[in-house]
Structure 1
Amino acid sequence: MLERLQKLFQSVTHSERASRQLTRDDPRVAAAALFFHVVDADGDVRPNERKKLRDVVAAAYDLKGSELDAVLKAGQKADDEAVDLYAFTSVLKRSLDEDQRINFIELLWEVVYADGERHELEENVVWRIAELLGVSTRQRVWARQRVEGEQD
């Protein structure tokens, strides 16, 4: 998993991160907002889902402490204020290549399975995000199957 995370966000350097403001145009905030959206989709947010979300964002962007808290807070606020997913997916589509977008879908599946279940509402949100990111149905299903295989 760590290798996938590193590949996923290798394009963001430390100097770029330091100079960015935490807005919905920041890929870190956009990604966090999408993770929050998936976690909240079924209306039953469990502690293990929140922990997985936090761990994924921390590892993906090499964040910790107050910097991680700030990105998560900005991501949750952006998700709460959003009217659609396009604002976030368009940021990620511009900043991630095709393989990184597929890896992002895998990370979404990891968050979905953090509570041991795959709820149809969570699955629907991942499907919509994948479509907006240009990830094919085949790639989305393969990503889900890889994550399911790791769960066994």
Structure 2
Amino acid sequence: MLKRLIQAFATPTNQVESPAAERIPLAAAVLLLEVANTDGEFHPDEQALLGELLKEHFAVSQESLDGLLKLAEETRHSSRDLHQFTREINKGFTQVEKERIIEALWQLVYVDGRLDCYEDALMRQLGSLIGLSHRQLIEAKLRVTRS
């Protein structure tokens, strides 16, 4: 499976793309890692929650979690922007599912108990890239902070 995930983002545009079921978990893992690292620190609480979010929202098995995270970190470092990853989320999820994903990202932001200005800016960008209104973004944030 990991070989196919690697090929999924390395495939030239004239070749057949990998199924969304393979591309979406990698895209999600990259976005989650980006959020977790935005404030310059990757806390153990963030790492633990990140794995749980991938399993819960993207059906990643425990057995493939470490490999996916390693691949996602490599992919994150070699990419230039987040558009290729948010595009996969946009293709594969409904509006309601996108709101749940943003909520999961907010959970990751707040797991360390604070909101960094860079995290806030990234969340606004991600909300926009996956087609959520400012209101939807804030409502997801409030659901996380109130619980």
> Distance between the aligned counterparts of 1:90 and 1:62, measured in 2?
19
**Does residue 1:58 correspond to 2:41, yes or no?**
no
CA RMSD, Structure 1 to Structure 2 (Å) = 1.8
Higher relative contact order (CA 8 A, sep 6+): 1
Instruction: Map 1:1-152; keep pairs closer than 5 Å.
Output: 21-23=4-6, 25=9, 26-150=23-147
> Distance between the aligned counterparts of 1:97 and 1:90, measured in 2?
13
Whether the 8 Å contact between 2:30 and 2:73 is mirrored in structure 1 is yes
- Aligned residue for 1:128, secondary structure, equals helix
> Distance between the aligned counterparts of 2:3 and 2:97, measured in 1?
21
Runs of 4+ in 1 over 4 A off after TM superposition: none
> Distance between the aligned counterparts of 1:41 and 1:19, measured in 2?
26
In structure 2, runs of 5+ residues without a counterpart are 10-22
- Aligned residue for 1:21, secondary structure, equals helix
1:74 to partner: Cα distance: 1.7
Q: Give the TM-score of the pair, scaled to structure 1.
A: 0.81
> Distance between the aligned counterparts of 1:44 and 1:117, measured in 2?
12
**Percent pairwise identity:** 27
Deviation track 1:57-83 (CA, whole Å, cap 9, x = no partner) reads: 122233333311122122211111111
> Distance between the aligned counterparts of 1:53 and 1:19, measured in 2?
18
> Distance between the aligned counterparts of 2:114 and 2:38, measured in 1?
13
